[in-house]
């Protein structure tokens, strides 16, 4: 009888202990999973390029109609004094030209005629790599603009460059050094299934949720050798038009840190017309577009990275 009671007690203790440790194990697994999800979400939310409207000088502006009747010199006529290192040498007066440009933010609306754009410097963890990519493109005219744009979208979407199609890897190898390529090939973010993304972004507000989901789709598309530019572009660009910011209308002039005023008039995300006014007090200035970003007053529009490639009609 005593042996039976002892066995029953041992069995109860064993079952109780198993239940306690089972709950503890579940709690640990749940906590570890939550911790992992939070870490992964932070990686997904991190922005390689951070330039935004907060970085713009919104106080020192000139009205849209300033300089309307002025005679503007064409920058295409001044290529003789242009150098890749220092840009254009500009004396006081008005100038204009159209440069090739790039979208630096996926999941946003394309340029429209309602929003004004102000200058801000390229910034963020991958700012130097993005700047190098755009700057070096000037020396490689054989690389079409679309491939450079795809590489920039790949950077923005945190794509692993070692998994890109061969043609994009070849273009990247011409424009970036080994250290840059190594940094872009060691990303901790990868393509996630729709179910995994839904779990991670379930509690995120818009538009952050949409941007993260679009970047994930771009990563997945980038890894496909047969994905077309148009398919990736359709992901990067939202349909429709972003709400206009009445305080900063299209054509507004913004003061550049180098002392001249500039207005950005995008024809599309791939071409940006600039108009420059150099005041007498500024003296002679240098204008080198690369590293400059035309930032929209509407945060839902695309930020436009400027290149040194001037479009001239021959």
* Cα–Cα nearest to 262, from 130, 135, 88: 88
Burial track 270-291 (b if 16+ CB lie within 10 A, e otherwise) = bbbebbbbbeeebeebebbbbb
SS3 243: coil
The answer to whether the CB of 261 falls within 8 A of the CB of 134 is no
Between CA 192 and CA 291 the distance in angstroms is: 32
H or E stretch covering 272: strand 271-278
pTM (two decimals): 0.86
Question: Encoding tokens for residue 245?
Answer: 């910011």
Counts for the chain of helices (H) and strands (E), in that order: 8, 13
- Phi and psi at residue 122, in whole multiples of 5°? -60, 130
Every domain of the chain and the residues it spans: 1-45, 53-310
| Per-residue pLDDT tens listing for the chain (314 residues) | 545 444 444 444 444 544 444 443 343 333 334 544 677 778 888 899 999 999 999 999 999 999 999 999 999 999 999 999 999 999 999 999 999 999 999 888 888 777 899 999 999 999 999 999 999 999 999 999 999 999 999 999 999 999 999 999 999 999 999 999 999 998 767 888 778 888 888 888 887 888 889 999 999 999 988 899 999 999 999 888 888 888 999 999 999 999 999 999 999 999 999 999 999 999 999 999 999 999 999 878 899 999 999 999 85
- What residues form DSSP beta bridges with 238? 109
Cis amide leading into 178 (omega within 30): no
H or E stretch covering 4: helix 2-45
Only one residue has tokens 């509690």, namely 203
Cβ-based neighbours of 286, under 8 Å, separated by 6 or more? 86, 87, 88, 89, 90, 258
């Amino acid at each position: 009888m005593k042996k039976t009671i002892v066995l029953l007690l041992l069995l109860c203790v064993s079952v109780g202990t198993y239940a306690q440790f089972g709950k503890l194990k579940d709690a640990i697994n749940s906590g570890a999973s939550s911790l992992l999800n939070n870490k992964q979400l932070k990686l997904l939310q991190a922005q390689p390029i951070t330039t935004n409207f907060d970085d713009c000088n919104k106080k020192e502006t000139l009205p849209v109609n300033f300089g309307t009747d002025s005679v503007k010199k064409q920058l295409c006529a001044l290529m003789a004094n242009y150098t890749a290192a220092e840009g254009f040498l500009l004396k006081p007066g008005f100038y204009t030209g159209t440069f090739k440009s790039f979208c630096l933010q996926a999941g946003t609306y394309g340029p429209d005629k309602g929003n004004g754009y102000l200058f801000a410097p390229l910034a963020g963890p991958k700012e130097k790599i993005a700047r190098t990519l755009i700057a070096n493109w000037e020396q490689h005219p054989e690389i079409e603009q679309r491939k450079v744009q795809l590489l920039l979208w790949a950077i923005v979407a945190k794509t692993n460059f070692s998994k890109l199609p061969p043609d994009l890897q070849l273009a990247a190898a011409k424009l970036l050094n080994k250290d840059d390529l190594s940094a872009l090939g060691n990303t901790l973010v990868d393509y996630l299934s729709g179910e995994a993304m839904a779990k991670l972004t379930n509690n995120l507000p818009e538009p952050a949720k949409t941007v993260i989901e679009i970047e994930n789709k771009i990563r997945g598309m980038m890894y496909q050798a047969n994905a077309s530019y148009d398919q990736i572009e359709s992901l990067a660009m939202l349909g429709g038009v972003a709400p206009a910011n009445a305080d900063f209308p299209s054509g507004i002039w913004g003061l550049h840190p180098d002392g001249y005023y500039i207005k950005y008039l995008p024809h599309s995300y791939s071409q940006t017309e600039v108009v420059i006014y150099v005041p007498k007090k500024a003296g002679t200035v240098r204008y080198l577009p690369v590293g400059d970003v035309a930032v929209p007053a509407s945060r839902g529009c695309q930020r436009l990275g400027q290149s040194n490639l001037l479009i001239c009609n021959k």
